[in-house]
Each structure stands twice: as structure tokens, then as C-alpha cells.
Amino acid sequence: MRAHLARVDAVLVQAVIAAALSFAHLHDVASAAGQDGWKAWAYPVSVDLLLVAAWRRLRSGDAKAAGWCWFLIALAASLGANVATAGLLDLDHVPAWLRILVAGWPAVAFLGGTLLVHSSPTTHNDTSDAVDQETPEDIEDQEDAPDPAPEPPAPPTVESAPTPTPTPVPAPVAVPAALVEHARKVAAEHHARTGTAIDTPTLRARLGVPPPMADAIAAQL
């Protein structure tokens, strides 16, 4: 962490020193070219702002050609001032061409800054412009999509009839053989006395047995 802060501090200090020296050199050249007072201090600010605007355009990734062009122009102005103040140019007798460049720099810087800041990229708006240019008449002229085929009706459900509950069949009743023989005697006596066959209720009453057993005995008679 401390090493990272040390690297950052070194970069900041170096940037401040370079900016201060470049600022002073631009001021000296502008002052030598006849721009005295506050005007001489405005030239370094103008060059630095153009550098920043060109660098932001290069970082955004749009119209890099224009960004590089104006970045090199601002860099040449800054480097030219640094070299001119190194003793290669007599600041007491500035040539006419340098006075012309210094006097025309504000217009050049204003043009470059305006083109860099206020020109919007058109790469991302091509698709939206093409959509906006489509009129409602063009949309109406397009063929309508065919309606989807109707779904066939579902077959009617057939309700199954309830299955009838089978009637339980009574279990066969076991009748002793002696009881059957006694029932035959009772039936014969009834037939001899009345002349008719004995019915099941009468047989049940005579024998004193439950109805299922009486039915079983009557079936065997």
C-alpha cells in the first residue's frame, strides 16, 4: 500500500512540475510575442484545455482521427514554447511568423475545442435514425401476417354410466338331514289335511326356524 502511494505521489509531483514549467514557457513566449498582461496568462490555459479535450476524445473511442489531430496541434504548441525558451529563440526580437502564430492561436484553439466537445458521434445513432425514418404508411403497406388456424374443438367427454352394485347372494344355509325329514312329515300331514302343498311361511311357523333356513328346507322338499 505504501509503495503504491509512493508511486502515485511521484507521478503527481512530476505532473505538477511539468505543468508548471510548460505553463511558464507558454506565458513567456506569448509575452515576448506582444501579448502582455492577463492575455499572456490565458495562452497556457488555452493550450492545456485543448490537450485535455483531445485526450478525452481519444479515451472515448469515437472519432480518434480528430482527437489525434488536435492533440498533436496542442502538443506542438506546448513543446514549441518549451524549445523556444531554451535559448534557441531570441525572445527580445521575436520573428513575425511567431507573432502571427501567437495572435491566431485563440481562434485555432476555439475551433478545435468546439469540434472536439460538441461533435456527437453518429455510429450509435444509425439504427435509431433508420427506424425513425420509417413512416406509418410504410408500416401499413406491409403484408399482414396470416391469422393462425383455429384449434380443433376438443372431443366431448363421455361420462361413463355408474356400474350397478351387484346384489349380494346369501350364503347357502346348511340344513340337517333330520330336520329335512321332519319337514317332509309336516308337509305331508299338511297336504293330507288341507289338500294343498305347504307354503314357506307355514313351514317356517310349524318348524320354528329362521326365514333363510325355511327357504333352504322348502327348496329341498
Give tens-digit pLDDT for 120-168: 655 444 444 544 554 445 544 555 555 666 666 666 555 555 666 766 5
Name, in order, each residue with C-beta under 8 angstroms of 113's C-beta and a sequence gap of 6 or more.
Answer: 49, 50, 53
68-107 pLDDT, tens digit per residue, is 998 899 888 888 888 888 777 777 788 888 888 888 998 9
d(CA 36, CA 42): 10
pLDDT tens digit sequence for 194-206: 878 778 888 778 7
User: pTM for this one?
Assistant: 0.47
Average of pLDDT values for 15-22? 80
- Top pLDDT among 51 and 174 is at 51
Dist. CA 175–CA 215, nearest whole Å: 10
Find out whether 20 and 78 touch, Cβ atoms under 8 Å.
no
pLDDT at 178: 76
Distances (CA, A) of 175 to 73, 182, 210, 213, 220: 132, 11, 12, 7, 10
Domain residue extents for the chain: 2-119, 177-220
Closest C-alpha to 187, from 210, 205, 213, 211: 205
Q: How far is CA 109 from the centre of its chain?
A: 45
- Give the residue among 115, 9, 137, 138 at the shortest CA–CA distance from 56: 115
Mean pLDDT over 171-196 rounds to 77
